[in-house]
């Protein structure tokens, strides 16, 4: 339960700060700026990794959790609890923002600026790169590396900075699902539910090609998590 609650709190913080930055930027007439929004997403993830990483792994993202499960670094029995906690935390954050900013129409929801295929491919590649970094800087799904927070936070900020204006740079089904449901803007939501999961799973396959021990940190871990 401690791990599930940690994922709930961490995902709440991610969505509240990240999409909150979008909402406040719109409310304030651009005071935060696009760069500020990208940095907010990266910094909140960095902070949550160092705060909660040694408790739950600080996945904060259903695609990351499914990626770790695919890589056999995460037990299947814990998958439903993690996913439920992440989605619940994200939903609470979005409805809190809706309460605070009732006049905001989108609440930070992600929508394609161009075609659906363009955003689908972007989200796939962005999540692929994010998951690839996560798999290579972490020694296990539940361990907190010294530099893991910096690397993961930096990748999220970088990808949000250059791809955000086109696809929203979600890379996280919970982050997109919650504001979409809270705002009632569910158009194109399937892109942000499907592409990140496929991208994370593809990153596992790529990691296997790069590292011999990508799927399990040791033979003991393999036995414990299967």
**Cβ atoms < 10 Å from Cβ of 52:** 23
Question: What's the number of CA atoms in the CB half-sphere (13 Å) around residue 92?
Answer: 14
Please give the pLDDT value at position 146. 66
User: Which of residues 219 and 100 earns the better pLDDT score?
Assistant: 100
Q: What mean pLDDT do residues 32-39 have? A: 97
d(CA 175, CA 6): 16
- Residue 69 pLDDT more than 50? yes
Which of the four pLDDT bands, split at 50, 70 and 90, describes residue 220? very low
Whether the pLDDT of residue 224 is over 50: the answer is: no
Q: Which of 44-48, 138-142, 184-188, 197-201 has the lowest mean pLDDT?
A: 138-142
Orientation angle between helical segments 189-210 and 173-183, nearest 10 degrees: 180
Q: What is the pLDDT of residue 226?
A: 35
Burial 36-48, CB ≥16 within 10 A → b, else e: ebbbbbbbbbbbb
Residue among 7, 15, 6, 5 nearest 172 (CA): 15
What residues does each domain of the chain span? 2-224
Q: What is the 3-state secondary structure (H, E, C) of the chain?
A: CHHHHHHHHHHHHHHHHHHHHHHHHHHCCCCCHHHHHHHHHHHHHHHHHHHHHHHHCCCCCHHHHHHHHHCCCCCHHHHHHHHHHHHHHHHHHHHHHHHHCCCCCCCCCCCCCCCHHHHHHHHHHHHHHHHHHHHHHCCCCCCCCCCHHHHHHHHHHHHHHHHHHHHCCCCCHHHHHHHHHHHCCCCCHHHHHHHHHHHHHHHHHHHHHHCCCCCCCCHHHHHHCC
Q: For residues 199 and 124, is the Cβ–Cβ distance under 8 A? A: yes
Measured at the CA of 178, the angle between CA 22 and CA 141, to 5 degrees, comes to 95
The pLDDT of residue 212 is: 72
2-224: CATH class: mainly alpha
Where is pLDDT greater, at 141 or 213?
A: 213
Question: How confident is residue 147, by pLDDT bands cut at 50, 70 and 90?
Answer: confident
Please state the pTM of the whole predicted model.
Answer: 0.91
Query: Could you give phi then psi for residue 8, rounded to 5 degrees?
Result: -60, -50
Percent of the chain at pLDDT above 90?
83
% of the chain residues with pLDDT over 70: 92
């Amino acid at each position: 339960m401690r791990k599930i609650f940690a994922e709930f709190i961490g995902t709440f913080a991610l969505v509240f700060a990240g999409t909150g930055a979008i909402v406040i930027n719109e409310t304030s007439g651009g005071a935060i700026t696009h760069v500020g929004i990208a940095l907010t997403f990266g910094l909140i993830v960095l902070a949550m990794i160092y705060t909660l990483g040694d408790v739950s792994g600080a996945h904060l993202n259903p695609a990351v959790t499914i990626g770790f499960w695919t890589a056999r670094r995460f037990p299947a029995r814990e998958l439903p609890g993690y996913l439920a906690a992440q989605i619940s935390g994200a939903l609470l954050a979005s409805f809190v923002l809706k309460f605070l900013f009732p006049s905001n129409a989108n609440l930070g929801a992600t929508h394609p600026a161009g075609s659906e295929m363009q955003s689908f491919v972007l989200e796939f590649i962005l999540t692929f790169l994010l998951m690839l970094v996560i798999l290579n800087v972490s020694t296990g799904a539940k361990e907190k590396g010294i530099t893991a927070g910096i690397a993961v936070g930096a990748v999220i900020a970088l990808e949000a900075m250059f791809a955000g204006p086109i696809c929203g740079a979600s890379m996280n089904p919970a982050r997109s699902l919650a504001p979409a449901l809270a705002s009632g803007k569910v158009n194109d939501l399937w892109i942000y539910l499907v592409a990140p999961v496929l991208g994370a799973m593809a990153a596992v396959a790529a990691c296997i090609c790069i590292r011999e021990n990508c799927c399990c940190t040791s033979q003991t871990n393999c036995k414990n998590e299967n």
